[in-house]
Structure 1
Amino acid sequence: MEPLVDQYSRGALHGELGLGTFEAQLAAATGGGAAPPPAGSTFFDSRLGLAVRRWCPPLLGLEQHCTPVRYLARRRELGAYSAARALLRGSGIGTYLVGPDPDASGELTTPDELASAAEARAHEAVCLRQLAAQIADTSGTVGSFLTNTAEALYAAAREAIAFVSGDGFLEESAPELPEVHRAVGRWLRDRQRRLEPVLVRHLLWSALTTGRPVQLHCADPSPLTGFLHATSGLGATVILLPRAPHHRRAAQLAAAFPHVYADIGPRPAETLAEAPFGKLLFSTGARALPELYVVGARLFTGAMKRLLDDWVTDGCCGRGDAERIAARVAGGTARRVYALDAA
């Protein structure tokens, strides 16, 4: 299989990681909060922890399933950069699409830093909320904000691979201009205010006209049906990035709307049953730990291999078809949808 295209991640942490920091990131990756692990246990005692111990130690010159203490000691011995480089270059990912991380405060790698460490390609996806804040910093009036917004969106579209928005405030039409004027005025007078829903809508509908795909991060994509209907004639491309366990519903929406695509999620057997194979794209969703890129890639390739081997054995498809389907989901569709070859 060709190198994977990871359509959504947020970069890796700089610097050395002690046991506590590493475990905190494992907990965050599984949806855990700040609570400590159970007494006498560790966050390595989880499916994710076992996966890290299975696939990552050999990339650092250790045996599979070595103890967490030995693994982290080897990490420190190599140094943070060398360890991250070995992990990323062993992940099987050839192209990274890196989204924003508002809470990172510069502690995560930039797309260029990630590309250098991984010896791969990396592209930035621009957050519309962050873009609005940057525009406001240079706009003294409502008129200049709106003019600068249009210019900034098209400038970003020339450089970024996609725009990123959340799933809030997705009404079925763009806001009226007087609404936008009033909201901009209030926000410019008081930048401590949260970005108002009408401005989020204005930015999103404006981004949909730039020709760049828009990634929608959504907990449950079911409420987006009306919005997807309304955007179907704009020539825009929308990629749904739901949270588990809603990937199946996202695949159904991708099947229903020609301009909509979806993340394949952690269980390809479910999503491939709901949508044409060319509507689903792979991602790791990794953040902070380079190990999460390795685990995400291995879980995906393993699940796809098992599923497609079953299909071949059952006579559902031939081996050539299976290889073509795997290549499409692993990167072929992402290269087409995000125009990666042109980028």
Structure 2
Amino acid sequence: MTADLTGPVHEALAGLPLVDHHCHGAVAADLTAAQFESLITEGEAWPGVSPFDSPVGVAVRRHCAPLLDLPRHAPAADYLARRADLGWPEVNRRFLAASGTEVFCVDTGYAPHPVTTPAELARAAGAAACEVVRLEQLAEAVAARGVAAGAYAADFRAAAEEAVRRPGVVAVKSVAAYRTGFALDPARPTDSEVTGAAARWLARGGRLTDPVLVRHLLWTAVDLGLPLQLHTGFGDADVRLHHADPALLTDWLRLTSGTVPVLLLHCWPYHRQAAYLSAVFEQVYLDVGLALHYTGPARCRAVLEEALEITPFRKLLYSSDAYGVAEFHHLGALAFRRGLAGLLQARVDADELSLPDALRIAAWTGRDNARRLYGPPVSEAARASSGRPTRKV
């Protein structure tokens, strides 16, 4: 082990059971080489440009290959062949277990591939899982069933209330950043505005992209009373990145102060704006998930250092935002542990932070901040080691 990976903070984070407060399922099928490559990029696998020849592709070959019994930096062809030989159940089991995650908070609203359910993800990892409900999916399901424009608001509210009463649901999520961006009128729309917008949308069909109905969705989320997760910043080509800057939410955050926790997901390259919002609004929290595995252990420390420049330590959470390939559940956790431990240990060594404070911040960020907000279930292993009863949700 190199000097960079030693010290009490590294040891503490290496052994800390994580709460991944936002992730997705892993694909429950064997993948072709092209399918795997498409899942390790937010763009596309363009002709002549392999996603393996990118920071995340290099990180997969370096840090994931050993878990498939391959040498570090194994060639991509060898990696894909070994993955195929093992089969998806064993691949998923190895990477999910290696992540050291005790609870996965799973967004079940995005599944263009056959992916594991929260329960299946938990079983493969020997962990626990809970659910995050995606509100745009609910709204589109209400529209697909057939609804009069004047009844849309009440029907959507009823569907959302029913969804959040499902066992294991701990939060709701919106992808408004993709659908309209955040430069919205912050005020709650009137009933007549919602009815008019619903009439236009129901006549047109398609995805929910009407700004009035997106505002209505966000305010309905506030009324539900659960933590609200919002995708911000980095994503695939559907997002207009400059419209996904969380600072555009400032006026809406003023109006919703004192209501529900608002979790700004991913944030990069706007993690400094998100940090500002977390420092001035009581209800705002953030993570830098997704950026962790795309920058990899080689650079994630820099992202975490920037996110923590002014963020209160009780406001930063861990997430992987892993989707599709279980490598990302593992790689996100590994990058987080190493990046956070490196920056905290450096501050301890420079006498800018005491060791007890560093250990406390590590535990808060990796696990306890999420527990405080969501109260998610804990795994049986964690229950046995702590002596606390497992929460039934």
Superposed CA RMSD in Å reads 2.1
Which of 54, 59, 62 aligns to 1:54? It is: 62
Confirm or deny that 1:69 pairs with 2:52.
no
Instruction: Report the CA distance between 1:24 and its aligned residue.
Output: 2.4
Give the conservation status (yes or no) of the 8 Å contact 1:142–1:185: yes
- Which residue in the other structure is 1:226 paired with? 251
Letter in 2 for 1:279: K
Which of 23, 30, 33 aligns to 2:44? It is: 33
Confirm or deny that 1:184 pairs with 2:198.
yes
Give the conservation status (yes or no) of the 8 Å contact 1:11–1:288: yes
Instruction: Write the mapping of 1:164-175 to structure 2, written as runs, cut at 5 A.
Output: 164-165=173-174, 166-167=176-177, 168=181, 170-175=184-189
Q: Structure 1 length as normaliser, TM-score?
A: 0.90
Give the conservation status (yes or no) of the 8 Å contact 2:139–2:208: no
How much identity, in percent, do the aligned residues show?
A: 41
Match of 2:165, SS state, is helix
Instruction: Report the CA distance between 1:192 and its aligned residue.
Output: 4.1
Give the conservation status (yes or no) of the 8 Å contact 1:115–1:122: yes
Confirm or deny that 1:203 pairs with 2:222.
no
Which of 137, 142, 166 aligns to 1:135? It is: 142
Give the conservation status (yes or no) of the 8 Å contact 1:254–1:260: yes
- Structure-2 change in CA distance of 1:296 and 1:56 (3 Å): same
Confirm or deny that 1:155 pairs with 2:162.
yes
In structure 1, the gaps of 5 or more residues are none
Match of 1:8, SS state, is strand
Match of 1:126, SS state, is strand
Instruction: Report the CA distance between 1:143 and its aligned residue.
Output: 4.6
Match of 1:45, SS state, is coil
- C-alpha separation in 2, matches of 1:13 and 1:198: 35
Match of 1:35, SS state, is coil
- C-alpha separation in 2, matches of 1:65 and 1:188: 52
- Structure-2 change in CA distance of 1:23 and 1:146 (3 Å): closer
- Which residue in the other structure is 1:121 paired with? 128
- Structure-2 change in CA distance of 1:12 and 1:273 (3 Å): same
Instruction: Write the mapping of 1:1-343 to structure 2, written as runs, cut at 5 A.
Output: 1-26=15-40, 28=41, 31-38=42-49, 42-100=50-108, 102=110, 104-159=111-166, 160-165=169-174, 166-167=176-177, 168=181, 170-192=184-206, 194-219=208-233, 220-233=245-258, 235-264=259-288, 266=300, 267-341=303-377, 343=393
- C-alpha separation in 1, matches of 2:44 and 2:250: 31
Q: Structure 2 length as normaliser, TM-score?
A: 0.79
- Structure-2 change in CA distance of 1:55 and 1:175 (3 Å): same
- Structure-2 change in CA distance of 1:5 and 1:138 (3 Å): same
Instruction: Report the CA distance between 1:12 and its aligned residue.
Output: 1.5
Instruction: Report the CA distance between 1:87 and its aligned residue.
Output: 1.0
- Structure-2 change in CA distance of 1:139 and 1:46 (3 Å): closer
Letter in 1 for 2:213: L
Letter in 2 for 1:326: A
- C-alpha separation in 2, matches of 1:72 and 1:33: 18
- C-alpha separation in 2, matches of 1:21 and 1:138: 32
Give the conservation status (yes or no) of the 8 Å contact 1:251–1:264: no
In structure 2, the gaps of 5 or more residues are 1-14, 234-244, 290-299, 378-390
- C-alpha separation in 1, matches of 2:230 and 2:209: 17
Give the conservation status (yes or no) of the 8 Å contact 2:227–2:262: yes
- 1:13-42 CA distance string (max 9 Å, x none): 22112322222222x2xx43341244xxx4
- Which residue in the other structure is 2:240 paired with? none
Match of 1:20, SS state, is helix
- C-alpha separation in 1, matches of 2:203 and 2:78: 55
- C-alpha separation in 2, matches of 1:210 and 1:25: 33
Match of 2:331, SS state, is helix
- 1:21-78 CA distance string (max 9 Å, x none): 222222x2xx43341244xxx4323221221122222222333222222222221221
Instruction: Report the CA distance between 1:193 and its aligned residue.
Output: 7.0
